[in-house]
């Protein structure tokens, strides 16, 4: 079973890996371009940590939790529940 901290680390490290690929001049141009195109819409570490804070607040026990209200008011949607296209 994957823990949330492990999943977070994996997503953040994947972003770093894609950045390395996109900047590596030893790789073919099509691979670097593909990595760049994936990064264009890839969530930043800040966005991932923000989602972690959101989930933490949503999982709180108190139904009138001020943290929950504040985070929900400030949260910008980051993911969708479906894909509008295929690769």
- Look at residue 80 in the predicted model and tell me its pLDDT: 74
Query: Do 13 and 2 reside in the same domain of the chain?
Result: yes
Sign of CA dihedral 80, 1, 8, 34: negative
Q: Are 54 and 69 in contact (CB under 8 A)?
A: no
Helices (H) and strands (E) in the chain, counts: 4, 0
Summarize pLDDT for 45-73 with one digit per residue, the tens.
Answer: 988 988 888 888 777 666 667 777 777 77
Query: Do 72 and 37 reside in the same domain of the chain?
Result: no
- Look at residue 17 in the predicted model and tell me its pLDDT: 97
Query: Do 33 and 67 reside in the same domain of the chain?
Result: no
- Look at residue 85 in the predicted model and tell me its pLDDT: 62
Query: Do 34 and 58 reside in the same domain of the chain?
Result: no
Query: Do 38 and 50 reside in the same domain of the chain?
Result: no
- Look at residue 8 in the predicted model and tell me its pLDDT: 92
Tokens of 87: 């690769």
Does residue 79 surpass a pLDDT of 60?
yes
Determine the average pLDDT of the residues in 13-36: 97
Quote the domain boundaries for residue 74.
44-78
């Amino acid at each position: 079973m994957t823990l949330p901290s492990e999943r977070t680390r994996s997503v953040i490290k994947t972003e770093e890996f894609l950045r390395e690929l996109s900047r590596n001049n030893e790789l073919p141009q099509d691979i670097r371009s593909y990595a760049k195109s994936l990064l264009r819409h890839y969530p930043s570490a800040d966005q991932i940590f923000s989602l972690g804070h959101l989930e933490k607040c949503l999982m709180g026990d108190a139904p009138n939790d001020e943290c929950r209200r504040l985070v929900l008011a400030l949260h910008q949607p980051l993911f969708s529940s479906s894909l509008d296209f295929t690769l």
